[in-house]
Every structure is written in C-alpha cells, then in structure tokens.
Amino acid sequence: MSGIPAAPTADLVNGASIPRIGLGTWPMSDAEAEKAVAQAVELGYRLVDTAYAYGNEVGVGRGLRASGVPREELFVTTKLNGEWHGHDAAQEAFAASAERLGVDYVDLYLIHWPLPAQDRYVDAFRGMAELLEDGRVRAIGVSNFKPAQIDRLLAETGVVPDVNQIELDPTLTRDAARACHAAHGILTQSWSPIGQGGDLLENPIVRRIAERYGRAPAQIVLRWHMELGLAAVPKSVNPERMRANIDVFDFELTPEEVAELSSLDRGEAAATDSDLAGH
Ligand SMILES: NC(=O)c1ccc[n+]([C@@H]2O[C@H](COP(=O)([O-])OP(=O)(O)OC[C@H]3O[C@@H](n4cnc5c(N)ncnc54)[C@H](OP(=O)(O)O)[C@@H]3O)[C@@H](O)[C@H]2O)c1
C-alpha cells in the first residue's frame, strides 16, 4: 500500500509546528505499537501520540526507528502521569519517557490529566517549561484541562501551553474549551476524534455526507476536525483505516455540512469529567 503526502502542519505558540493528524496508540501493546507505528510512518504519518500510561513507549520508539525516517522529520508526543506532578518529578519522568522511547528530545510533552484534587499541576508545568527552555522538548502542553485550569497556568507561570488535547468529536464539540484555546493561541488536539469507531460512524448525517463525497464515515468526521482548525490523533492498527484517516486533505466540507455535523453535539455534560477522571 503506497503512502500519501504527510499531513499539513499547524504553528504552535512556543515556536514548533505540529502535524494536524497523527496516530493514536492507546490501547496498543509494545508489540502492536512497534508494528503499527512503522506502518503508519510508511503510509505518511509523521506524528505519533503515546503516554507513560499506555505502557508502549518502548514499542513506539522501536517502530519509529524501524521506519527509517530521520528523527527530525518525526513528531513524538508523550504525557506525564499523575504521580510525577511536581517540578523535579516532571523532569525525572520526562527523562525516563525519553529513554524508553530512545530519543534525545520529545516534540510535545503533555500533562496527561489535571488531577485537581492533587493540586500539583502548576508545579509540574513549571518543570516542563524548563525542559522547553533547555530544548529537551520542542513544545509543552496539557490534556483534559478545563478553561479555568488553563487560566491558572497562565496566571501562575506566564507560559502558554502549546496544546490542550481533549475529548472532542461532532457529538462533543467542546465550544467553551475551543474558545478559551483560541483566545490564547493554544492548539486544540482531539482525542477519540472518531468517537472510538462506534455509533458516530453509523450516524445518518455522517453516512449521508460520506456517500455524497464517496468517502468513509471516519474521513468525513476527521475532515470536520480539520474544517474547525483542530488537530486529531485517530488510532488504528489496520493499515487500510490508517491510510483513510490521514487521507482527508484533498476535499472540503461546506459550512452547512460542518454545521450539520456540529448539530450532533450532546453538550459538555456528556464529555468525560476531567476533574474526576484521570491518572
Ligand atoms: N489524552 C487523553 O486523555 C486521551 C484519552 C483517550 C485517547 N487518547 C489518544 O487519542 C487516541 C485516539 O482515541 P481513541 O483510540 O480512544 O479513539 P478513536 O481514534 O476515535 O477511535 C479508535 C477506534 O476506531 C477504530 N477505527 C480507526 N479508524 C477507523 C476507520 N477509518 N473506520 C472505522 N473504524 C476505525 C479503531 O479500530 P482499529 O484499530 O481496529 O482500526 C479503534 O477501535 C488514542 O489512541 C490516544 O493516543 C488520549
């Protein structure tokens, strides 16, 4: 199966640039990730999304090396787990992740969940900001943060996160979060962007638009993310679906189609409550 052109990139507020679509790797084992990542890079993917918590950083690193694509052309995201929220602890956890991945630097390091009951994410972010200054990470950000938590990071550290990776799809449009991110130049990156491959892909509106363009339902949903200016990390271990998921840059949806898809929003209460969930 031949590759397709790499996804376009977006510029991040602290100076890096990020592919708009990358490969999610949860819940892949090391062995699955090694194989899927090498296949994905061959197909044209340049961004791979992992986390300490996924337990597959070693496999992701192996897959990236097996691809033969030079490190500087690849974009690796990993995430800080809750037990290391703290200035020094974040730096130690980062070093361990980089070692498992087998890389000298990470392109994007995210606080995986805010864990407000623990109330240590500000210290963690300070530690990560030093990694950014040192060049050991090219971009820093957060995941599952609410607007008030982002405001607090800005007020207490003066550093703008490059990215907030949140649960987002046409049934969870997350308007308040997106408005907050836009106001600060933070890129919104969608997790579970195709609704975990479930009912969303069977939805009659999605199906009707897919038929109109002769595209797969997942491609219509991913194109919707692109029309909104978002980035996304769909996961697949299947090369045909991997290929389809990144092949969304040669057609556009109309504003009416985007609005129709957005009308599927079930409201903020339907999203995972990131004040209560996480690790
Ligand atoms: N920051 C966070 O807290 C957080 C939380 C959850 C996830 N994530 C990240 O986001 C990534 C994506 O989220 P996700 O894996 O939950 O959901 P997703 O990407 O929305 O959906 C993945 C599911 O859809 C299937 N699929 C993939 N492409 C398809 C296609 N073209 N047509 C039909 N089905 C398709 C996959 O199966 P096959 O593999 O068999 O194709 C898999 O079961 C994760 O892998 C992870 O990297 C981050």
Q: Is the Cβ atom of 24 under 6 angstroms away from ligand 1?
A: yes
Q: Is the Cβ atom of 126 under 6 angstroms away from ligand 1?
A: no
How many angstroms is it from 87 CA to the middle of ligand 1? Answer: 31
> Within 13 Å of residue 39, how many CA atoms lie on the same side as its CB?
17
pLDDT at 1: 54
Looking from the CA of residue 198, the nearest atom of ligand 1 is: 24
- The whole-model pTM stands at 0.98
pLDDT tens sequence across 200-242:
999 999 999 999 999 999 999 999 999 999 999 999 999 999 9
pLDDT at 57: 98
Q: Which CATH architecture has domain 9-196+231-237?
A: Alpha-Beta Barrel (3.20)
Q: Is the Cβ atom of 235 under 6 angstroms away from ligand 1?
A: yes
pLDDT at 6: 84
Looking from the CA of residue 110, the nearest atom of ligand 1 is: 1
109 is known as an active-site residue: no
Share of the chain above pLDDT 70, in %: 99
pLDDT at 159: 98
Which residues in the chain land under pLDDT 50? none
Residue 174's alpha-carbon distances to 6, 95, 97, 193, 271, in angstroms, are 27, 33, 30, 12, 8
Tokens (6 digits) for 137: 């990470």
Q: Is the Cβ atom of 203 under 6 angstroms away from ligand 1?
A: no
pLDDT at 2: 59
How many angstroms is it from 23 CA to the middle of ligand 1? Answer: 9
Nearest CA to ligand 1 atom 16: 192
Q: Is the Cβ atom of 241 under 6 angstroms away from ligand 1?
A: yes
Q: Is 5 exposed, middle or buried (0-12, 13-18, 19+ CB in 10 A)?
A: exposed
Separation between Cα atoms, residue 171 and residue 182, nearest integer Å: 20
- Kindly list the domain boundaries of the chain, sorted by start residue: 9-196+231-237
How many angstroms is it from 270 CA to the middle of ligand 1? Answer: 18
